[in-house]
Structures are given as C-alpha cells and as structure tokens.
Amino acid sequence: MTSLNPDTLYKGRFLNLMQTGQWEYVARRGSSGVVAIVAMHGDGRIVLVEQIRPAVGGRVIELPAGLAGDVDEDESLLVASKRELEEETGYSASLWRRLFTGYSSAGLTDEAVTFFLATGLTRTGPGGGDDKEDIRVHEVPVDELVDWIKQWAQAGGHVDAKLYSGVYAGLALFKKDAEDGAGKDKESQ
C-alpha cells in the first residue's frame, strides 16, 4: 500500500494533506519529530498539563509534549523534550531516559511521538507554556491517577490517549530503576 511518491492534496501552514494510493493522511510540516514527557517526582507524583485543544473543542489533560525542530531545525529530540518540559511545566530534570517511539494515529498521520521519562525534577521556571498557550500544570500521585482521570472525564474534560501509553511505559522503568537503584546521574537518549 505504501507509495514512495505520495501526492500532496493540500499544503497548509503546519500540515499537509497527502494521498498514497486511495489512502489520505496528514503530514506535519516544519518539525523533525514530536516528543512527550513522563515527568515523575521521586515521591511518585506525575506532572501533567491541561490546555485547550481546538480540534476537540475543550480542555485536554495530557503529558507535557511538543515539536522538535520547530524553533531550531537541528534540535534533537532530547533537547526538545528538555525545552518543552521547562516551558510547559516550569520543571527541569536531572535524568532523562528514552522510553519508545510510536505513532500518534497511524491511520490518520505519519507523525511519530518519542516518549521520554524525566526524573530528578527541580522547579526552574513558571511553566504555563509560551505566549500563545494557556497551560495549567497538575501534579497527581500516580496511585490516584486512574481515579483522577476518571473524575476529569466525568466533569467534561478530555483525555489524550498518549497519556496512558506514556504512563504505562514510564512507570515500568521508574519502578525498575527504584528497585535496582539504577539510572542515577545518567542521561540517555
């Protein structure tokens, strides 16, 4: 089904509508990747962000995330993760671990998201996003997360599905590192 030469049906400012055979999909312009950050405090609280997402018409709870290469085309995924975490939440992290890369919606877009686990958090700024964003930060004990998300959704909030996959992968590594005492003072990409 994959074609080496997809047709561009429409070029937008940030997205292109593409066609390969009979399949239409969206491709992002002006970035080299997408990052999502599972930011964990040592006491087991996870840092989440809430922001308005026009596509779903409301506020969405999600992992801190953003684009790599939209500001500096040579920006690595790790550097973009560090920038996005501080910009959105006001935290920096002393330990970064790459978790996995997966597609956000393989039937809709070619966009791949690379997930990182960030630990050793220190407050370094105000957070809240850039001047075009209105981001609220939530810090939720991970053992209360399922109920917290359920209450959020029951109150009319939206939940980004990447939150679940990122937390699943992040918690597995977070718990393993805690048991092993591993991962201290290392940075990996």
* pLDDT tens digit sequence for 101-118: 999 888 888 889 999 999
What HEC string does 26-87 produce?
EEECCCCEEEEEEEECCCCEEEEEEEEEHHHCEEEEECCEEEECCCCCCCCHHHHHHHHHHH
Structural contact between residues 81 and 93, judged by C-beta atoms closer than 8 angstroms: no
pLDDT band of residue 173 (cuts 50, 70, 90) is: confident
CA 16 – CA 177 distance, rounded (Å): 41
Say yes or no to pLDDT of 3 above 80.
Answer: no
| Alpha-carbon span 65 to 85, nearest angstrom | 7
* pLDDT tens digits, one per residue of 34-48: 999 999 999 999 999
Q: What percent of the chain has pLDDT over 70?
A: 93
pLDDT for residue 116: 97
Q: What is the C-alpha separation between 24 and 8, in angstroms, rounded?
A: 10
Indicate whether 187 pLDDT > 50: no
Residue 73 one-letter amino acid: E
What is the DSSP secondary structure assignment for residue 125, as one 8-state letter?
Answer: S
